Structure 1
Amino acid sequence: MSAVINLAHRGAAGHRPENTMISFKYAWELGATGIETDIQMTKDGALVLIHDETLTRTAGTPEWVKDLTLAELRTREVGSWYHEQYRGEGIPQLADLLEWARDKSLCLNLELKNGIIPYTGMEQKVIDLIRDYQLEDRVILSSFNHYSLVACHTIDPSIRTAVLYMEGLYEPWTYASTIGASALHPFKYALTPELIQEAIRQGMPYHPFTVNDPQEMKKWIEAGISGIITDYPDRLAELLGSRGGLPV
């Protein structure tokens, strides 16, 4: 069986404020072999890493990312909501993550958050930046907006795409293949060991989210899962017997 990808959800979100550079870096220290993060776009077209469309939850202000310029966004902090010791942590740009990760053996799962706000041109901008850093073979582009996945695949078929979904899909590997996707990223409750086994036969990897319980992780590993998206990459690393770098 090939190594299970340990995808740190928004970095080590169980230990550090999500989608910050300290969260990504700590995930690597804890044994993550991949980083999952979310991309939104500012008013002036900058690609930034934040899950929500607004700053309400993480910055305590009701502003929308799409309505702020990058310069304005840089004045907001997104650390103190998690713990006071992280006050002052800023919202990274996608380029910050790519620059840091380029010399590390990490897979990058970049989720395009364009289901609520249809960020015009986001797919091309993201792919152009991936190409600038020559990381095409280490990136998975995912989205709940499957039209966006088709656009990504059309722009650059060499970059893998993954179907994000919440509910049970009938033969999801078949559907994924029709839109050029090469992986399935379901909510964990839309998955069963039987589906994993059939996906293996079909050559379509599963990377469910967000799996934080070690017993649940163990169940999926034993079922033959290809990867797990988790807030606690340390827990998964312990089960996999890996600490940093590529899995053993």
Structure 2
Amino acid sequence: MLPPFYFLVPVLGGYAVTSYYLLKNPHILQKKKRLAFHCRHISHRGGAGERIENTIEAFDNAITHHTDLLELDCHMTKDGRVVVSHDGNLYRQTGHDVNISDVTYEELPQYKESLEVTFFPGHMSSGTDHHIPLLEDVFHRYPDKPINVEIKEDNDELIKKVSDLVRTYQRMERTIWASTSDKVMKKCRKENPEMPFMFTPRRGVILLLLYYTGLLPFVDLPESVVETCMPSIINRTYFPGNPLMRNRFLVYLQNKLIMRKSLFQHLEDRGIQVYFWVLNQESDFRKAFNCGVTGVMTDYPSKLHTFLQEYEGEQRSRGAEDTYVRTPSNI
């Protein structure tokens, strides 16, 4: 009787070959998602390095610099108004120790004259607009612009109000549900299943497990967008509050596991877009796009716009050179 080893090797070998082939050709098993947007340039909080974060002035500035996607955050006031703000407590942003949920919209304080850029410590932003806007005002002002809406609190009424606004402004295909909480994301999907949505951190870990076990090509993925930190910015421009996340070995391990061009290409081929946050230096822009991500989220819309013009010009020139070299007359 032959040992099990003789049967196991060809089975595993066949599985590995099949998995690799389907990773490169996902259309054989998976239907490609058709999103209404394809985003290279994403403005974090509207571009928090060039204008006061999450203000209309910031969003206008991002639009001026040809952003593809506005990223913003939502909370709800005591009188049930959905406002655009990253923090639930406004001390960092306004200097007033006030919870958004404890005051009416009219009682909200104004932003400070300048704010430190969260993902670029030591750098400040300023502007003339210090007003916390309503989500409805943003939807009304930018009817055709894709917007990534992060729900910052587990609040059923907030989720319903956001969903109702999305329906009222007929922007289901152009608005992304975003949340780091599985519980909140489940509620968002139930409230409005027509909207595309991102991978939560837990689902992101599962995605990596599927990739490294070879199962990814065989598994259906309901999400449309991956939004994740590029590990190499940790302890340089991004300092997580959890000390464990700042551990150098874990950062190194994350970098090795996440920065996989074949993974990003597979997701892109399935119509799933990959965004890295929050990158504010040209070297980081280049590293991300060279690795194959769909888009970059930044606090500096003008800087990313200038980089993309140059980078895409380089790509076109390189493509033209390759075509020239490969023509029959040059072989």
Scaled to the shorter chain, the TM-score interval is 0.7 to 0.9
Partner of 2:179: 143
Moved more, 17-26 or 161-170: 161-170
**Is 1:124 the counterpart of 2:160 in the alignment?**
yes
Partners of 2:56 and 2:129 within 8 A in 1: no
The sequence identity of aligned pairs, in percent, is 27
1:86 Cα offset (Å)? 3.7
Matches within 5 A, 1:12-31: 12-31=47-66
**Is 1:89 the counterpart of 2:124 in the alignment?**
no
Partner of 1:77: 110
Distance change >3 Å, CA 145–CA 3, structure 1 → 2: closer
Greater relative contact order, per chain length (Cα 8 Å cut-off, separation 6+): 1
Distance change >3 Å, CA 55–CA 179, structure 1 → 2: farther
Number of aligned residues:
234
Q: TM-score, normalised by structure 2?
A: 0.64
Partners of 2:223 and 2:272 within 8 A in 1: no
RMSD, aligned α-carbons: 2.9
- Alignment partner of 1:44 out of 79, 88, 94: 79
Partners of 1:197 and 1:223 within 8 A in 2: no
Query: 1:186, 1:174 → 2: CA distance?
Result: 17
Q: TM-score, normalised by structure 1?
A: 0.83
- Alignment partner of 1:110 out of 128, 149, 165: 149
Matches within 5 A, 1:1-248: 4-73=39-108, 76-82=109-115, 86=127, 89-102=130-143, 104=144, 106-114=145-153, 118-165=154-201, 169-172=205-208, 180-189=222-231, 191-194=258-261, 195-241=263-309
Query: 2:76, 2:220 → 1: CA distance?
Result: 28
Task: Report SS of the residue matched to 2:139.
Answer: helix
Higher Cα Rg, which structure: 2
Higher helix share: 2
Partner of 2:18: none
1:85 Cα offset (Å)? 6.6
Partners of 1:144 and 1:164 within 8 A in 2: yes
Task: Report SS of the residue matched to 2:49.
Answer: coil
Any gaps of 5 or more consecutive residues in structure 2?
1-36, 116-123, 212-218, 232-253, 311-331
Structure 1 consecutive aligned stretches of length 4 or more whose deviation exceeds 4 Å:
172-175
